A and B are shown apart, each in its own frame.
Chain A
Amino acid sequence: MASPRHVLPGFRLSLGFTITYLSLLVLFPLSMLLWKATSGGWDHMISTLTQARVLASLKLSFGASFAAALVNAVFGLITAWALERYTFPGRRLLDAMVDLPFALPTAVAGIALVTLYAPNGWIGAWLAKHDIKAAYAPLGITIALAFVGFPFVVRTLQPVIADLSMDVEEAAACLGANRWQTLTRVVFPALLPSTLAGTTLAFGRAVGEYGSVVFISGNLPFKTEIAPLLITMRLEEYDYSGAATIGVVMLAASFLILLASNLLTQWSRKRTGRA
């Protein structure tokens, strides 16, 4: 009998099941993307990607996601700080609400947002008075993407803020730093890597988002058509390799974003000394 290397039982069973399930339902299907994208040859891939409409949609998807991630970075940091450092009535409620975008179906969020920001909606009407167009414009897309990405920044930052030992702040104060100096020179540098990590995750989530965006975006080719929507159009036209090509670009972006976020988290651990 071979030496049982693991103390607790079930290693082979659980690992075997996990890998089989993962391979059959996720990895193998995803590999189809590469197969189909390259099936038309490099020329087809390049011609697909250089179409003005495809380029416009990718630019919009990444651009709006980036803008949304920036909004999330600022408000996520403020919210995480408020939730971890202060006690105020409704704090628990606010904390629970952060996860709403995880739990609320994207289509439901989509129709709610467009109803709010449409020119005759509660916020849209007010914006229209100031000549700002939100719904059916890039601004609306950014708002929807900020909605889906927000929890990632807050939930990444919360444990880091909670663990940030207050004695460094006290030490800074003892050394004569005022509160503002303490925050800008001691606290924010410590939080910077995880803020970036959370923001990167929010960005990654936003790039692929579909349901909450398609209602508010208006879906005008070259103007307000996001990349995931263009994929569905290509599929409906049975241009599978074209759809797969756009998909591969987005998948590669997801990988890079995840990698970046992992590196940022490692950096954050180094900086804050979290295990």
Chain B
Amino acid sequence: MSIHIHNISKTFGSFHALKNVDLEVNTGELVALLGPSGSGKTTLLRIIAGLEFADPGEGSIQFHGKEVTNHSAYERKAGFVFQNYALFNHMTVAENIAFGLKVMPRATRPEREDIDKTVAELLRRIALEGYGDRYPSQLSGGQKQRVALARALAVEPQVLLLDEPFGALDAKVRKTLRKWLRQFHDETKVTTLFVTHDQDEAFELADRVVVLHEGDIQQVGSPQQLRENPKNEFVADFLDCVMI
């Protein structure tokens, strides 16, 4: 599914988090939103998910050509993976993953057995078979992260949004999960956006990288384009390469 973001602004009090942002994401792309803290990247991701609303005005957001600017988060059903996982601590791993299926309207909700099957399949895919009955508090950070991913994927979202997906993990787990996510994306081709402040992560994973600074998009391009041809001093400085 493609995402069209047109002229989106967001202010918190007198702070301009986003200033007239335009962005196009094509179907099946894996895009990184890269920037230092306070650059507005998480705000942009949350606005796409419907977890934040842009300032009313001209701005619009379209999912595959369909206007969703005023849709609430539960109508948009973007798969969202939270920075600190936001797992439901009172539910088991299996219940967490099944949540999105269980809250579907009766007419479209899968049968119990089908839900169980989907959960088992997802557990296998995140390599956590046999962990279904555990509670989030019994898992490591990397395991929690994978459960959060599986939970978001269970409802087969057409777009996957990840907020600093590996931010709270140690370097080794980070590397493994990065590889895993890339591989997963190559298999499923779900349109994916993720927020990161780590340029290595962005360059290694993404098809295209969006560099943000102080609420403005500085440059959009493939890792190679950015590296070879940074558009301005900020991008060059942030990516730690020399401006030509």
Contacts and interface: CB of A to CB of B under 8 A. Distances in A.
* Contact present between A and B (CB < 8 A): yes
Interface of A: 1-7, 9
Interface in B163-213: none
Contact of A3 (B51, B53, B73): B53
A5 B69 CA distance: 11
B69 A7 contact: no
Interface of B: 50-53, 56, 69-70, 72-73
Classify the secondary structure of B's interface with A.
loop
A-side binding surface: helix, strand, loop or mixed?
loop
A52 to B, nearest CB: 55
A3 B69 contact: yes
Contacts of A4: 53, 70, 72
B43 to A, nearest CB: 12
B50 A7 contact: yes
Contact of B53 (A1, A7, A9): A7
Contacts, number: 18
Top 7 A-B residue pairs of the complex, sorted by shortest distance between their CB atoms: A3-B56, A1-B70, A7-B51, A3-B70, A4-B72, A3-B53, A5-B53
Given A7-B51, A7-B53, 11 more contacts: A2-B70, A3-B53, A3-B69, A4-B53, A4-B70, A4-B72, A5-B53, A6-B53, A7-B50, A7-B52, A9-B72
A5 B54 CA distance: 9
A4 B50 CA distance: 10
Contacts of B50: 7
A180 B157 CA distance: 63
Contacts of B70: 1-4
Nearest to A2: B70
18 contacts: A1-B70, A2-B70, A3-B53, A3-B56, A3-B69, A3-B70, A4-B53, A4-B70, A4-B72, A5-B53, A6-B53, A7-B50, A7-B51, A7-B52, A7-B53, A7-B72, A7-B73, A9-B72
